[in-house]
Amino acid sequence: MNLYVIDTGFFKLDGGAMFGVVPKSIWEKTNPANERNLCNWAMRCLLVETGGKLVLIDNGIGDKQDAKFLGHYFLSGDAGLHASLKKVGYETADVTDMFLTHLHFDHCGGGVKRHGDGFDLTFSNARYWSNEDHWQWATQPNLRERASFLSENILPMQQSGQLHFIKQGSTPFSGIDFLFVSGHTEKMMIPRIRYKGKTICFMADLLPSVGHIPLPYVMAYDTRPLLTLEEKGSFLKEAADNGYILFLEHDPQHECCTLKHTEKGVRLDQTFSLREIL
């Protein structure tokens, strides 16, 4: 198995929305905001070479949205999906499996591209993976999440015939299984990768950054925040007990971290880059 970080750039989101009920005077110590209360966030994906497959986990926001839409999110950074793949020796056509933790636009937008007046899949030779419950949730969106589920990001996967569903408790990939959680959105999937005796967890939006480790630090974007508290608490305890390595999709500074038990609960232990453990 080989692992590669795929950076797709940064975007900005409101700090209050990202930290929910936690006061700004507290959360800005780890995630400082600009004069518009916006914090910078990464869109960090992971490429996994395993069992003869090349699996990309999430793919960023993409570039097909119009200037008005992108103007809300202030995209920045030199990294991009195609350049990052090329940097590690691959092209989009080499990806055999495009795995999507969930279908919010900042996780799946790069998987579809404009082609004339329509859309094509970015990864022309790949199977695209979601799950049936989340797919139904995303294609029949509630009013709270509708702005995050964009039909042009989602429906072309099905129309192409390349969409496949993972069943809870099963996996199509060697060395990877999945934790299903529903506090952030219905049936988000957290990949757990077995690598050289270690467990690496791709955290998606269950833990956006090290600043979100304390239990009450739950995003206002979460549809079921009390369920997030339960899911997050159970996971963090398991991660600290077993020395899991957490791969952070949105942390602007830190790629990976470990956790430890303290008198105040589970807290940050160490931060490091992925290449330090490869």
pLDDT, tens digit, for every residue of 188-215?
999 999 999 999 999 999 999 999 999 9
pLDDT at 117 over 90: no
The total of structural domains in the chain comes to: 1
Tens-digit pLDDT profile for residues 168-194: 999 999 999 999 999 999 999 999 999
End-to-end CA distance of the chain: 10
Tens-digit pLDDT profile for residues 4-58: 999 999 999 999 999 999 999 999 999 999 999 999 999 999 999 999 999 999 9
Q: How confident is the model at residue 223 (pLDDT cuts 50, 70, 90)?
A: very high
| Average pLDDT of the residues of the chain | 96
- pLDDT the model gives residue 278: 83
* C-alpha to C-alpha distance for 145 and 132, rounded to whole angstroms: 17
Q: Which of 220, 202, 243 is nearest to 44 (CA)?
A: 202
The percentage of the chain sitting over the pLDDT mark of 90, rounded to a whole number, equals: 95
* C-alpha to C-alpha distance for 41 and 250, rounded to whole angstroms: 5
DSSP letter string, 154-213: HHHHHHHT-EEEPPTT--SSTTEEEEEE-SSSTTEEEEEEEETTEEEEE-TTTS-SGGG-
* C-alpha to C-alpha distance for 199 and 144, rounded to whole angstroms: 34
Which tokens in the block code for residue 95?
């990806």
Q: Residue 235 maps to which CATH number?
A: 3.60.15.10
- pLDDT the model gives residue 157: 97
- pLDDT the model gives residue 70: 87
Chain position carrying tokens 């993972």 = 166
Longest distance between any two alpha carbons in the chain, whole Å: 58
Tens-digit pLDDT profile for residues 83-100: 999 999 999 999 999 999
Which tokens in the block code for residue 149?
């589920």
Supply the range of the domain harboring residue 11: 2-276
Q: Are 85 and 128 in contact (CB under 8 A)?
A: no
